[in-house]
Amino acid sequence: MKALKAIALNTFRETVRDKLLYSLVAFAVIVLGASLLAGSVSLGQDTRVVQDFGLMAILVFQLIISLFIGTQLVWREVEHKTIYMVLSKPVSRNTFYLGKFFGLCLTLLVTGLVMGGLFLILVGYKTHTVQAVSIIAISYTILEAWLLTAVGLLFSAFTTPLASAVYTFCLALIGHSSATIWIISQKSGSIIKGLLEGIYYLLPNLEKFNYRNDVVFNLPPDGRQTALVALYFLGYTIALLLLGMAAFRRDEF
């Protein structure tokens, strides 16, 4: 646990010092601020525009951070040969892999809280209140980013950073199209139907983490559904981490 904590904190400090991270957070702040301008020119829907636009911006920039930083974490250590120094100590490959994951998760948590806090301030400025469902929406956006981080690390264990980023991005698109995939499968022939249903059940359904409509229409949070999504995240992320650690143990460098 001591080694895991040290690797995670070192990864967090490394990613926080990354200029790319600062530029992404700064740009996200600008985009969230621009949502106020977009809302002001809408026809009586300014609050809904701010809410929808702001939550989408948080999701996009969390995904970008995960793609451009997370997919390079392990590769960078191997490329710079620093991994040999770490593994020469009493540190297993599993500990190293998990340390990288938790370190980036901490980074995503901090950036998500910064952007989420700004979002709540903007919405509070418009509505003079803070919805509980808004906090849930921000929290589950961070969970989605953590799950995609596990996906990116899995791909990075056996391919290049560019390929990992592309694969993770494609999986994110598919994950947010799960409902469409299911509808198409029900209208297709038996072979195509079986293939699409397999994709639907095998790949992560990222729309489960989408609470934007609940925020925009001020729907009360469903405690049971929220708990089920949390369990879904936990189970899927653990499975991805186990696969990633297995691939990383077999990797030769």
Residue ranges per structural domain of the chain = 2-250
CA-based radius of gyration for the chain: 20
Q: Let me know if 109 is exposed, middle or buried by CB neighbors in 10 A (0-12, 13-18, 19+).
A: middle
Determine the pLDDT at residue 126: 78
Contacts of 103 (CB under 8 A, 6+ apart): 7, 8, 9, 10, 11, 12, 14, 15, 73
Average pLDDT along the chain, 253 residues, taken 10 residues at a time: 86 79 75 71 71 87 85 75 75 88 93 88 83 92 95 87 89 90 86 88 92 87 91 96 89 63
Determine the pLDDT at residue 235: 96
Determine the pLDDT at residue 51: 85
Count CB neighbours of 7 within 10 A.
21
How many angstroms separate the CA atoms of 37 and 29, rounded? 13
Determine the pLDDT at residue 142: 95
Residue 94 amino acid letter: N
Determine the pLDDT at residue 252: 62
Determine the pLDDT at residue 19: 67
